[in-house]
Copies of this chain bind each other. A is one copy, B any other.
Amino acid sequence: MNRHKPLDPAVTPWFAGVPTFLRCPHTRNLSNVDVAIVGIPFDGACTYRPGARFGPRDVRCQSALSKTYNQFLKVNLFDVLSVIDYGDLDLDPMNIENCYRTIEKEVAEIIEAGVFPLGVGGDHSISLPIIRALAKKHGPLSMVHFDAHTDTWDTFLENPYFHGSTFKRAMEEKILAGDSVFQIGLRGGLTSERDYDFALKQGVRMITVDELKQNGLQAVIDELGRLKGLKAYVSLDIDIVDPAFAPGTGFPEVGGLTSHEIIQLVSGLRELEIVGFDLVEVLPAHDTANITGLLAAHLIFEFLSVLAVHRQEQSSLAGGNMPCDC
């Protein structure tokens, strides 16, 4: 197999080259591909600072520093996974329903090709059509959702689809199984004491920053073990970390995690059967010194390492043939 790999820094230094995700080749040809990183530059559903449409471009640029071997997970991810930059989807910022159709359709094609879809937002509204595409194949998904906010509000002004209602819609559509959903990193003011009612009724397990800091990361990772064997979606809103670590985001919430904590949480996912991933709400116009983009890029690297480890283990269990769950 002709595996897709990043540019070799021993030939092309990190500062050189057309910016692609993790310096992987840009192609829409899905053969011999394990993971397609897809830019989804849509921010038409945000409620405060817009500009996440420039997230994919920035993550491409900042991922130039990306490496190949993960010293903590002990895996060279590109020995396991063939990864491409699929490019950006062509989306109309003024028409969310059209965008949803485009995203769902294109992600479905990726899935059909046996390729893992890794979306880079864009605002958090983009998770819904990805989950729709995945649920068509896998049925209702479990989810690990890293975020300061639950995104289970109902409407913004009169819009049913916005970056704060994504997971309410998904649970209403029964494409997410609420009782297999973890929301981690919650904090900040609410608009009412009933903001969480819907999610709680669905059985969502909500873990605030305060609980996380008090019980420690390992407790959360252990509890996530409950999802083993279920097809899981992972959605990572960069605002789970504190604005000191990720100033470039659309709805910043102080009092958040550190970068080290989110890296550890992501690396704690390696036993799950993950079928899709997104990283959203990177807003470069408010970033400083590119630290948000750098963190986002590294979290993609970390997630891909997790995926590689999981596939390696599956493969060795299966006697060397790598099964594909996606």
Residues in B with CB closer than 8 Å to A10 are 157, 191
| B291→A67 contact, CB < 8 A | no
| B191→A289 contact, CB < 8 A | no
Asked if A281 is at the interface (CB within 8 A of a chain B CB), the reply is no
Closest residue of B by beta carbon distance from A295: B254
| A50→B48 contact, CB < 8 A | no
| B243→A90 contact, CB < 8 A | no
| A92→B243 contact, CB < 8 A | no
| B19→A69 contact, CB < 8 A | no
| A69→B285 contact, CB < 8 A | no
Stretch at the interface among A106-114, A126-134, A255-263, A315-323: A255-263
- In whole angstroms, how far apart are the Cα atoms of A65 and B64 in the complex? 23
A residues 101-125 in Cβ contact with B at 8 Å: none
Asked if A94 is at the interface (CB within 8 A of a chain B CB), the reply is yes
Number of copies: 6
Q: A67-B190, A74-B193 are in contact. Are A254 and B243 (CB under 8 A)?
A: no
| A288→B285 contact, CB < 8 A | no
Asked if A68 is at the interface (CB within 8 A of a chain B CB), the reply is yes
| A87→B17 contact, CB < 8 A | yes
Question: Which one, B11, B17, B91, B159, contacts A94 given CB within 8 A?
Answer: B159
CB distance from A294 to the nearest CB of B (A): 6
A residues 72-95 in Cβ contact with B at 8 Å: 72, 74, 76, 85, 87-95
Asked if A272 is at the interface (CB within 8 A of a chain B CB), the reply is no
Question: Which one, B48, B158, B187, B213, contacts A65 given CB within 8 A?
Answer: B48
Asked if A71 is at the interface (CB within 8 A of a chain B CB), the reply is yes
| B289→A248 contact, CB < 8 A | yes
CB distance from A279 to the nearest CB of B (A): 13
Residues in B with CB closer than 8 Å to A233 are none
Q: Which residues of A contact B (CB under 8 A)?
A: 9-20, 26, 39, 41, 43-51, 53-54, 56-57, 60-61, 64-72, 74, 76, 85, 87-96, 98, 156-159, 162, 186-193, 195-196, 208-210, 213, 242-245, 247-248, 251-252, 254-256, 258-260, 263-264, 285-291, 294-295, 298, 301
Q: Knowing that A71-B187, A255-B260 touch, tell me 14 more A-B residue pairs with CB under 8 angstroms.
A: A10-B157, A13-B91, A15-B54, A16-B89, A26-B26, A44-B44, A50-B53, A67-B191, A68-B191, A71-B208, A76-B192, A243-B294, A254-B259, A254-B291
